[in-house]
Amino acid sequence: MAEDESVDSGGAAAKSERRALIALAAAGFVLVVLSPLALYFLMQTSFEGFVAAALAQGAVYAAAVYIVLRHRLGRGVLAVVFIVAVVARAIALPAPAILSTDVARYVWDGRVQAAGVNPYRYVPADPQLAGLRDAAIYPNINRADYAVTIYPPVAEMMFFLATRVSESFTMMRLTMLGFEAVTVLALLALLEHDGRPAARVLIYAWHPLPIWEFAGTGHVDAAAIALMSLAMLAAVRDRRVLAGIALAAGSLVKPFVLFVAPPLWRRWDWRLPAAFVATAVVCYLPYLSVGSGVLGYLGGGYQDEQGYLDGSGFFLVLLLRRFGLPAPGGLAFVIFAAVVLAAMALAVAFRAKPCAADPTVFLPLATAAVLLVSPHYPWYFAFLLPLLTRAPYVPLIYVTLAAFIFYLPPIMNFDDFFTAGLWLYGGLALLALADFAVRSRPLPIRRPA
């Protein structure tokens, strides 16, 4: 009798897994079908249509994540995950550079370096660089007449190497796809370390943000995310020096990588910080001929442009002002945010137990960083995805999916950042509070009969 019950249970489990796999394949099919629709709207320069299609992809993605989390699917499902991820990116690859023209600056910086010029020395419109201009790249460079490059040294090295193969948008996008492959491999290794099903890599691979921001737009954040994932993998394997090197390299592509540093550090361990500092120094050396100008546009102009100096670039400051409440200025809020984030970082870094292996420890700091910094661009949220792959958290998943509303015309021009903030950061805060309330609710006490 017991054997029959075991057979029935095993058969039911197999049937449930088959149904889940079919549902997942159907979700992947719909996700792929929506990709040409989103691409069509981009070709027509219809931002509203693109956002609608991207949000529809997000709804399908959310259903796929639910399936993956509810069912412990075997490694066989990875074939479906990878096929959908690759096809969706192949469709997005020829997208016109209208969501962002940052990729033009990447190619330009690579070309300038190949000509033996420090990319932090001249703005693209400077007469000294007139001989490097062309009809394909130069006209698409944003801030060409007043801003030197804003990207840190490791990003500049990547631009140089990629453009030695081809000085084109497509080559730069393919380079970012290569970094995405590194991210996926690192996440598979991290999931194995965490004892989680490999199918959860779908949380990164099927997300519409990487599809459109890396394959479709070619943002360098893909490289930073790959290095961040490698840093986490090195830390859980107790490769402290490698973790420090990867952490520094990633931070010198995009600074958001620093948000994962506190959990990776082990108390009183000198190897990781020493490797971090040494790597940063070595990477800056080739560009120091411009002195303090090595900070590029980040050192002058960018803060004012983004509203950080007067506080209008921070959603919480706007919220206080909208309700007529006393609100700090930009500098005061930056100090406040830095103190809060530093206190949280120290609390994590000095925990009694090493916490690099605990995937949930990254989430509070990441949530606080998003709420306080309140990024203005969709691709700035993509760094959350490796963290969510290891530890799914609904409030942060929501904000990564809703980030596409930043492409709606009134918000793209910063005319209605407050409304976008209500949807993104207000929604994130409400969901985080609801999640906290549910988790802190006392469990019912079961009394024996």
- pLDDT of residue 66 exceeding 90, the answer is yes
> How far is residue 32's CA from residue 10's CA, in Å, rounded to a whole number?
33
180-200 pLDDT, tens digit each: 999 999 999 999 999 999 999
Phi, psi torsion values for 354, nearest 5 degrees:
-55, 135
Least confident of 149-153, 239-243, 265-269, 278-282: 265-269
Mean pLDDT of all residues in 278-283 = 96
Q: Residue 7 has what pLDDT? A: 46
Buried b (16+ CB within 10 A) or exposed e, 128-152: ebeebeeeebbebbebbeebbbbbb
Q: Could you tell me the pLDDT band of residue 281, with boundaries at 50, 70 and 90?
A: very high
Q: Could you tell me the pLDDT band of residue 326, with boundaries at 50, 70 and 90?
A: confident
Q: Could you tell me the pLDDT band of residue 17, with boundaries at 50, 70 and 90?
A: confident
Mean pLDDT of all residues in 59-88 = 92
> How far is residue 46's CA from residue 307's CA, in Å, rounded to a whole number?
27
- pLDDT of residue 435 exceeding 90, the answer is no
Q: Residue 115 has what pLDDT? A: 95
Q: Residue 9 has what pLDDT? A: 55
Mean pLDDT of all residues in 397-426 = 85
- pLDDT of residue 81 exceeding 80, the answer is yes
195-234 pLDDT, tens digit each: 999 999 999 999 999 999 999 999 999 999 999 999 999 9
Residue type, 354: P
Q: Could you tell me the pLDDT band of residue 449, with boundaries at 50, 70 and 90?
A: very low
Mean pLDDT of all residues in 376-380 = 92
> How far is residue 343's CA from residue 332's CA, in Å, rounded to a whole number?
17
pTM for this entry:
0.92
Task: Tell which wins on pLDDT, 12 or 447.
Answer: 12
The 10 Å Cβ neighbour count of residue 69 is 15
Q: Which helix (H) or strand (E) holds 252?
A: none
Q: Could you tell me the pLDDT band of residue 344, with boundaries at 50, 70 and 90?
A: very high
Mean pLDDT of all residues in 382-393 = 95
Place of tokens 């529809």: 56
CA 296 to chain centre: 22
- pLDDT of residue 34 exceeding 60, the answer is yes
- pLDDT of residue 448 exceeding 80, the answer is no
